[in-house]
């Protein structure tokens, strides 16, 4: 049973059971019974819109790069706030580590890697195959 449903089961006007006892019986904390969620401010919503637009252009940005990018654009934001907002929107950075690795090329019975440092006169051939 969800916390919201158990919270709705508490009867504040009950004659015999106090709110504290009801919360203990329903296994919810008293603070969660009294908690009222606070909506995000307009400033934060505008910042989330900027983060979303930036993330579409640069999906490899983590919270550190995103905060740095937004500070350069004139927004006052720290890394942890950027991290919290990105997590709230479900944004995680896309890894680019696969792009930096050499591409294996299959030739007769062996696997070699393509080296960009080896120059060939013919641009259609790879230097590793010669």
> pLDDT category, 93, cuts 50, 70, 90?
confident
Phi first, then psi, for residue 105 (nearest 5°) are -120, 130
Domain identity same for 77 and 49: yes
Instruction: Give the Cα separation of 115 and 102 in Å (integer).
Output: 8
Domain identity same for 20 and 50: no
* Arithmetic mean of pLDDT, 25-34: 94
Confirm whether 15 is domain-assigned: yes
Domain identity same for 54 and 83: yes
**Could you give the number of structural domains in the chain?**
3
Domain identity same for 83 and 110: no
pLDDT digits 0-9 by tens, 38-75:
999 999 999 999 999 999 999 999 999 999 999 999 99
Would you state the pLDDT for residue 130?
A: 42
Confirm whether 108 is domain-assigned: yes
pLDDT at 13 over 60: yes
Confirm whether 52 is domain-assigned: yes
Confirm whether 94 is domain-assigned: no
> pLDDT category, 98, cuts 50, 70, 90?
low
Domain identity same for 52 and 80: yes
Print the domain residue range for 26. Answer: 3-34
> pLDDT category, 15, cuts 50, 70, 90?
very high
Higher pLDDT, 112 or 45: 45
Instruction: Give the Cα separation of 59 and 57 in Å (integer).
Output: 6
Confirm whether 95 is domain-assigned: no
Confirm whether 78 is domain-assigned: yes
CA distances from 115 to 101, 104, 121, 128, 130 (A): 11, 10, 14, 6, 11
């Amino acid at each position: 049973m969800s916390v919201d449903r158990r919270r709705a089961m508490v009867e504040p006007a009950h004659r015999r059971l106090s709110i504290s006892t009801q919360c203990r019986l329903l296994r919810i904390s008293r603070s969660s019974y009294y908690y009222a969620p606070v909506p995000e401010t307009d400033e934060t919503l505008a910042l989330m819109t900027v983060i979303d637009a930036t993330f579409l252009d640069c999906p490899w940005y983590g919270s550190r790069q995103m905060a740095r990018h937004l500070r350069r654009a004139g927004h006052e934001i720290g890394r942890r706030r950027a991290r919290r907002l990105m997590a709230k929107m479900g944004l995680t950075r896309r890894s680019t580590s696969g792009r930096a690795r050499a591409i294996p090329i299959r030739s007769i019975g062996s696997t070699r890697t393509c080296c960009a440092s080896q120059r060939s006169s013919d641009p259609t051939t790879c230097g590793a195959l010669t």
